[in-house]
C-alpha cells in the first residue's frame, strides 16, 4: 500500500490489514493519522443543535392534513369504482348474464383509514414517551388519551412510565391516563402490581384512588400491606385504609 492509498483509509471505517502494515512501516503516515485523527475526534465536541418544538407540531399537522387529503380522495375513488361497477352491471344485465355483482369496496378502505389513524396515534404516543425530555414524555402521555382503549402497546408504555419514569409528573400523568384503559383486566393487574414498588407518596395516592375508582376488590391484599407498613408515609397509609373501607 502506498501513502496515497493509505490516506483514504485514515478516517471513518477501519482500514484493514494492509493499512495496518503500512502504518507500521511509515512514520509520516503514522504522524498524519495521529494529527487528523485528533481533529476528526474533536468534531464530536462541537455542540449539537436542537430543533424547536414547532418542528414536531408542524410535522404532525402536515401528516394529518396529508391523511385527510387521502381520506377525502377515497370517496371520489369509490365513486369512480361505483360508476364502473354500475356500467359493468348494466352490461351484464344487458347481456342477460344475470344481475350485477357489485359490492361496496369503500368500507374496507375506510376501515383501513380508521386503522391507520389509530396506528398514527399509537406511534405518536409511543415515540413521545421514549423521548429524553420529560415535557415530551408528558405530551406522549397526553397522546395516549387518543389511543384506542384496547391498545395494549400504549397501555404497556403507560405502565412502564408509571413504574420507571424518573419524573414524578410523568408518572402521575400516566396514572391518570390509565383510566382510559379501565376496561382491561391487564390495567387493573398492572396498577395493583405497581403500588408496592412506588416510593413517591403522590403517585401512591393516585394509584390507590385509581383502584377505588376501578372498584378493584382484588387489591385488598396490597392495600392492607401498605396500610400496615410503618415505613410508609402516614398520608399514604391513611389513604390505603380509606380505600380498604371503600372497597368492602
Partner 1 sequence: MLRVFSNVNVNMTDNAVMAEVSAGRVARLAVLFERYHRALFRYFISMNGHREQAEDLVQEVFFRMLRYRSSYDPAQSFTAWMYQIARNAGVDQGRRVRMAEVVDIDSFALASSAPGPEESVSRSQDLALLRRAMNQLPQDKREVLVLSRFQGMKHEDIAEVLGCEVGTVKVRVYRAIRALEQIYFTLEKEKAS
Contacts with partner 1, residue ranges (CB under 8 A): 7-13, 35-36, 39-40, 42-52, 54-56, 58-60, 62-63, 66-67, 70, 116-117, 119-120, 122-124, 126-128, 130, 152-153, 155-157, 159-160, 186, 190, 193
Shortest distance (Å) from residue 143 CB to partner 1: 10
Question: For the chain, how many helices (H) and strands (E)?
Answer: 12, 0
**Backbone torsions φ then ψ of 129, nearest 5 degrees:** -70, -10
Shortest distance (Å) from residue 7 CB to partner 1: 5
Could you give the dihedral angle defined by the CA atoms of residues 182, 188, 190 and 192, in that order, rounded to the nearest 10 degrees?
Answer: 140
Shortest distance (Å) from residue 113 CB to partner 1: 10
Nearer to partner 1, 87 or 186 (CB): 186
Q: Cell numbers of 61, please?
A: 399537522
Nearer to partner 1, 2 or 52 (CB): 52
**Backbone torsions φ then ψ of 166, nearest 5 degrees:** -75, -15
What's the rounded Cα separation, in Å, for the pair 130 and 56?
A: 15
Residue 226 and residue 195 in contact, taking contact as beta carbons nearer than 8 Å: yes
Nearer to partner 1, 216 or 227 (CB): 216
What's the rounded Cα separation, in Å, for the pair 132 and 165?
A: 10
Shortest distance (Å) from residue 136 CB to partner 1: 10
Question: Which of 217, 212, 207, 218 has its CA nearest to residue 162?
Answer: 207
Shortest distance (Å) from residue 54 CB to partner 1: 7
Shortest distance (Å) from residue 50 CB to partner 1: 6
What's the rounded Cα separation, in Å, for the pair 38 and 188?
A: 56
Nearer to partner 1, 92 or 113 (CB): 113
Nearer to partner 1, 126 or 244 (CB): 126
Q: Cell numbers of 193, please?
A: 402490581
Nearer to partner 1, 193 or 213 (CB): 193
Amino acid at each position: 500500500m502506498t501513502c496515497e492509498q493509505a490516506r483514504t483509509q485514515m478516517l471513518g471505517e477501519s482500514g484493514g490489514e494492509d493499512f495496518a502494515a503500512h502504518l507500521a512501516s511509515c512514520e509520516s503516515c503514522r504522524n498524519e493519522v495521529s494529527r487528523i485523527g485528533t481533529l476528526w475526534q474533536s468534531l464530536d465536541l462541537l455542540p449539537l443543535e436542537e430543533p424547536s418544538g414547532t418542528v414536531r407540531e408542524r410535522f404532525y399537522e402536515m401528516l394529518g392534513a396529508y391523511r385527510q387529503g387521502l381520506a377525502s380522495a377515497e370517496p371520489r375513488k369509490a365513486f369512480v369504482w361505483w360508476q364502473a361497477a354500475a356500467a359493468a352491471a348494466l352490461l351484464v344485465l344487458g347481456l342477460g348474464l344475470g344481475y350485477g355483482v357489485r359490492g361496496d369496496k369503500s368500507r374496507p378502505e375506510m376501515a383501513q383509514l380508521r386503522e391507520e389513524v389509530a396506528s398514527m396515534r399509537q406511534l405518536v404516543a409511543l415515540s413521545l414517551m421514549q423521548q429524553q425530555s420529560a415535557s415530551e414524555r408528558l405530551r406522549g402521555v397526553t397522546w395516549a388519551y387518543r389511543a384506542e382503549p384496547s391498545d395494549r402497546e400504549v397501555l404497556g408504555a403507560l405502565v412502564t412510565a408509571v413504574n420507571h419514569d424518573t419524573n414524578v409528573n410523568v408518572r402521575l400523568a400516566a396514572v391518570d391516563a390509565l383510566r382510559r384503559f379501565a376496561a382491561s383486566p391487564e390495567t387493573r393487574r398492572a396498577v395493583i402490581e405497581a403500588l408496592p414498588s412506588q416510593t413517591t407518596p403522590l403517585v401512591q395516592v393516585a394509584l390507590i384512588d385509581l383502584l377505588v375508582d376501578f372498584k378493584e376488590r382484588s387489591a385488598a391484599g396490597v392495600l392492607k400491606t401498605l396500610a400496615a407498613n410503618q415505613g410508609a408515609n402516614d398520608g399514604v397509609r391513611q389513604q390505603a385504609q380509606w380505600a380498604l373501607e371503600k372497597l368492602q
